[in-house]
Amino acid sequence: MKKSEKRRKYDYGIHGWWVILFCGLCYYVNAGTVSDGMNVTIPAFVEAKGWDYATLLSYSTIAGIIGIAVAFAAARVIIKKGAKFVLVLSCFIAGLAYIAYGYSQSMVMYLISICIGSSFANVYCVQGTGPVIVNWFPRTRGFVMGIVGAFMPLASATYLYLLTGLIKAFGMEAGIAATGVLTIILGVVCLITIKNTPEERGLSPDNMPVTDEEAARFRAEQDYVSPWTLGRLVKERSVWFTGIAYGLLLLCTTSVISQLVPRLTTDRGLEQSQALLMFSAASICGILSSVVWGWVDQKLGSKKASFIMIIWFMASLAVSLIRGGPVLLWISIVLIGGDLGGPITFMVSMTTKIFGRLDFSAAYSVISPLCTLMASLGFVFTALFVTIFPNLFGQMYGGTYAGLIGVCVIAFILVALIDDKRYLGRGF
């Protein structure tokens, strides 16, 4: 490919780059409110209200389970109404819920608000942005998802400082509620500036030149109705292999990242401040790795890129099990940072590879909730293995990491079973 053609390939124009930035902001706000922010909000509620820490933490697990049903319903609405409709609506609902969350006066109010808030935050982040990205960037989806996915580790590295600053400036209740206002603003921005497809803005997918024949086909596709019904999708093995494989990888990511600080303080004897520093370092590595995984996906394809990522993941877990000095510990942190960003990128890209641009939303309506279901088991997996295999390899989390290596092996096999050469959809 000539240099001019390469430049043209990634020349998305102002509207294309704005879509990428907006989707990245959705990932950022979601990661901050649903997961990273809990490191600040739960202790704040415990201190201010005297509520039980373990109980509040268990409410997040309940919210995750409820979110699966909400995600499935939202994905079906996207097929009927389009992704933008669901994006705007879910931002408004999540925003109002997080405002109520900040002003929770009882544990019942806390539970209801966190269930609604986190459920719809995951909807605008995962279910909402996926179809928009595929519609706008079907050819370069891997590269784009790498950039968008980088906003999640960016949130891990910065959101806690933002939330802490809001609480210091406005107090605990108003500071936490302010995150809900930010989410509503995100919905307003989407309503005003985002289109479901580039054709609605008079542009072409990937901002690439199109022939008159292709332009006519794009116009005809506006009324396309996917033949992939729910009943047909659940009978397709590629749907199950894709959803479970990348869901298992997200399970691994959830298990490792959510317990990284406790593992470093418990198994490595670090001070809390040192562990937080390493957590931030892993997050920064995750920003870079997300972009790199997107580039690898674009160059090698989703399947080969997934194999490389899974091998990397197993290596990071194995190195983390080895007791050594500071150098080896930092190597393990860098490797763990490299685990971030890949699973969601490859899930979106693989779904598009198999089902195409036009049938993506239909297939994603099953694959995404299935992936979310598997990922939600990360907390249960960690608790189970810590209980059954305590102090394996002389480490509290040794059994968990050994078990996660086994999960990676299963994911590797499932990815191998995905027939990405068997094209089932329409569009790019």
Tell me the DSSP string of 284-310. HHHHHHHHHHHHHHHHH-HHHHHHHHH
Name, in order, each residue with C-beta under 8 angstroms of 319's C-beta and a sequence gap of 6 or more: 328, 331, 332, 335
How far is CA 394 from each of CA 33, 321, 323, rounded to the nearest angstrom?
A: 35, 9, 9
- Residue 43: predicted pLDDT: 84
- Residue 358: predicted pLDDT: 81
3-state DSSP call for residue 426? coil
Other C-beta atoms lying within 10 Å of the C-beta of residue 235: 10
- Residue 124: predicted pLDDT: 94
* Backbone dihedral region for residue 347 (phi beyond 0: left; psi -120 to 50: alpha; all else: beta): alpha
Q: Where are the alpha helices (DSSP H) in 137-171?
A: 141-149, 151-170
Phi, psi of 56 (to 5 degrees): -65, -40
Nearest partner of 191 among 124, 244, 131, 139, judged by Cα: 124
**Measured in whole angstroms, how far is the alpha carbon of residue 30 from the centre of its chain?**
9
pLDDT tens per residue, the chain (428 residues)? 444 445 456 688 999 999 999 999 999 999 888 877 877 888 889 889 999 877 887 787 788 889 888 988 998 899 889 999 999 999 999 999 999 999 999 999 999 999 999 999 999 998 899 899 988 998 888 889 889 989 988 988 888 888 889 999 999 999 999 999 999 999 999 999 999 999 888 888 888 776 667 666 666 666 677 788 888 999 999 999 999 999 999 899 888 887 788 888 888 888 878 888 888 898 889 888 888 998 999 889 989 999 999 999 999 999 999 988 889 999 999 999 888 878 888 998 899 889 887 888 888 888 988 888 888 787 778 878 888 888 888 888 898 999 999 999 999 999 999 988 877 766 55
Other C-beta atoms lying within 10 Å of the C-beta of residue 164: 15
- Residue 1: predicted pLDDT: 45
Residue 214, CB half-sphere, CA atoms under 13 Å: how many?
A: 10
Q: Which residues of 45-68 are buried (b: 16+ CB within 10 A; e: fewer)?
A: bbeeeebeeeebeebbeebbeebb
User: Would the pTM of this model clear 0.85, i.e. be above it?
Assistant: no
How far is CA 283 from each of CA 51, 164, 279, 397, rounded to the nearest angstrom?
A: 30, 18, 6, 20
Provide the terminal-to-terminal Cα distance of the chain, rounded to the nearest Å.
20
3-state DSSP call for residue 228? coil
Q: Which residues of 245-278 are buried (b: 16+ CB within 10 A; e: fewer)?
A: bbbbbbbbbbbbbbbbbebbeebbebeeeebbeb
- Residue 8: predicted pLDDT: 55
Contact between 84 and 194 (Cβ < 8 Å): yes
All domains of the chain in start order, with CATH: 13-199 (1.20.1250.20), 230-417 (1.20.1250.20)
Give the separation between CA 172 and CA 86, rounded to whole angstroms: 30
Give the burial class of 181: count Cβ atoms within 10 A of its Cβ; 0-12 exposed, 13-18 middle, 19 or more buried: middle
Q: Which amino acid is at 125?
A: C
> DSSP characters for 98-135?
HHHHHT--SHHHHHHHHHHHHHHHHIIIIIIHHHHHHH
Contact between 12 and 137 (Cβ < 8 Å): yes
Give the separation between CA 129 and CA 299, rounded to whole angstroms: 23
Name, in order, each residue with C-beta under 8 angstroms of 233's C-beta and a sequence gap of 6 or more: 239, 362, 363, 365, 366
Phi, psi of 395 (to 5 degrees): -135, 140
Contact between 183 and 96 (Cβ < 8 Å): no
> Bridge-partner residues for 395, per DSSP?
392
**Measured in whole angstroms, how far is the alpha carbon of residue 180 from the centre of its chain?**
19
The vertex-410 CA angle with 407 and 415, nearest 5°, equals 125
Q: Which amino acid is at 365?
A: S
| Angle, helix 38-49 to helix 53-81, in steps of 10 degrees | 130
